[in-house]
A and B are shown apart, each in its own frame.
Chain A
Amino acid sequence: MTTSVSLYVAGDTGFHRLHPITKLTITLTLLLGGLVIPSAWASYALFVGFILPLSIWGGIWKQLIRAVWKIVLPFGISIFLIQGLFWGEGTTLFSIGPFTVEKEAIIFAFGSVGRIMLVIGSFLLLALATRPDSLMNALTNLGLPGAITYIVVTTIQIAPRFQSKARTIIDAQQSRGLITEGNLIIRGKALVPLILPLVLGSIVDVEERAIAIEARAFNSPGPKTSLVTINDTRLQKLFRWTLFLLMLLLIGFRIWWSLT
């Protein structure tokens, strides 16, 4: 059982080999840039100028574009329909039947779609090219409590097991005559007989697992060694500090901009 829920796409490109913290810093800088630069077009520029080239370097651009498209499209349709048709006041561009479409509404919709694209894109850039466990490993080395790392890594490993458990319970209850199709009330009534076995069954073995990890020195103090070592280079350290300074500059710029 080594399968886990993850967006990670295995690869051996230079981008994949970057230190996880370097990739995390790139993601955070891009996010901050989109938030701070006071223009609706900044998000699009950052997406085309940085996220796309980096995803091509990492060989993950197909997955990235597909995922961004799948997530952003429903948002985009909703935003353009709702904010476009019901904006209310502003410079009228054109009208469809009883609705008028205003210039301000279109600018708002473009800005929102761009921001969503940037948030999704910058996180996908990190998630598609970085194994969650190596990211958590790197964060632990920076001082993140080991308990947090344990929760994240373990959850990612056990989630698929729970999903298949849920499917087993659906099958079992259906074979005992539980009706899971029909009107809303019938389907609603099926909820408790499906959730209860899933939750009770998994809670009962919590204690066993707690004893198992404590017996393996989970709570022992002192330094711990890791099976996986993550390569870091002096150049990447320098690059991270540069990005960090850039982020501070961006925040400073934003404060200065809103003051003047």
Chain B
Amino acid sequence: MGFVDSIKKEFSTRTLVLITVAIAINIAVGQLVFTLKLPIYLDSIGTILVGALVGPWAGALTGALGNIIWGYTLNPTYLPFFYVAAVIGAMAGIAAKLGAFDRVSPRWLSALIGGFFFFGLTLFILSITAYSRDGLIPNASDLISQNALVFVVILIIGLAIGYFLLRKAGYAGLAGLITGVVAAIISAPMAAIYFGGVTGAGTDLLVAAFRASGAGILASTLAQGAVSDPFDKMVSFLIVWVIIQSLPARFKAR
């Protein structure tokens, strides 16, 4: 089967209808989260669902069109970030092809995934802010020994998140965490160049903290995204995992 055929295969009439439902779900869940006053966005659950159920191309189209529609009908600031939403949908599709949404992980493995990931993420964030401040790539072992307490606390929090929150969805959670980091990296240049590195929301306190520590605009924006995006995408992937586990088998078989 050729490349073009593999794309065409994803776009049946059912897929098109599913995409409209998914974008409406993105908007409605955004409203639910707002009602519950939760400090996360969860505005891409529909996008991830299409990626997981249909494939990367359909996921990418859902993400891109979702942001364009949201931008055109509610708030134009979403428009420039359509490519980030497309990458999130595509990554959900790739994760599904690798089995992230079907497989069940033992809880100890989920705990390890959480622990290792948040440990690595902290190292990544400290490295980019230190690099931006000093212009030198810092030594990882120096960073860890200088902030030993921070790393121990983060490791424990990561293990707890894996064990108590991800539970059996360790693989989906890991896919979400990686997607979050990628989303943070690719959205930072647009946010820094076009929007002065801020979002006008609560997460700007993080940007202020990183700027105060001496990091540059791009590095601070990237570090802010790397703190808030992985957790948001991890919860989104986790919810999609639960949805897929509860879908009738007939629907999954397509």
Contact = CB atoms under 8 A, between A and B. Distances in A.
A166 B195 contact: no
B197 interface: yes
B147 interface: no
B139 interface: no
B80 interface: yes
Contacts of B69: 152, 155-156
A26 interface: no
A115 interface: yes
A151 to B, nearest CB: 5
B6 interface: no
B14 A71 contact: no
A162 interface: yes
A249 interface: no
Nearest to B203: A78
B230 to A, nearest CB: 17
Given A78-B204, A194-B32, A199 B196 contact: no
Interface stretch (B84-92, B122-130, B180-188, B243-251): B243-251
Contacts of A4: 73
A55 to B, nearest CB: 14
Contacts of B242: 192, 196
Interface stretch (A9-17, A106-114, A228-236): A106-114
A198 B13 contact: no
A166 B28 contact: yes
A23 B8 CA distance: 32
A165 B248 CA distance: 21
A81 B46 CA distance: 35
Contacts of B200: 71, 73-75, 77-78
Given A81-B208, A187-B36, A196 B246 contact: yes
A73 B242 CA distance: 39
B140 interface: no
A239 interface: no
A148 B32 CA distance: 27
A32 interface: no
Given A112-B196, A194-B32, A203-B247, A159 B27 contact: yes
A105 B98 CA distance: 46
Interface centre among B25, B74, B201 (most CB of A within 10 A): B25
Contacts of B211: 82-83, 86
A170 interface: yes
Given A82-B207, A203-B251, A219-B13, A192 B239 contact: yes
Interface string B66-90: 1011011111110110000000000
Contact of A210 (B17, B33, B217, B243): B17
A111 B13 CA distance: 45
B166 interface: no
A35 to B, nearest CB: 9
Interface in A108-127: 108-109, 111-113, 115-116, 119-120, 123-124, 127
B16 A147 contact: yes
A82 B21 contact: no
Given A132-B73, A151-B23, A154-B17, 18 more contacts: A74-B201, A75-B200, A85-B208, A112-B196, A115-B194, A123-B72, A127-B73, A151-B65, A155-B20, A155-B66, A158-B20, A159-B23, A159-B24, A184-B38, A191-B32, A196-B246, A198-B25, A210-B14
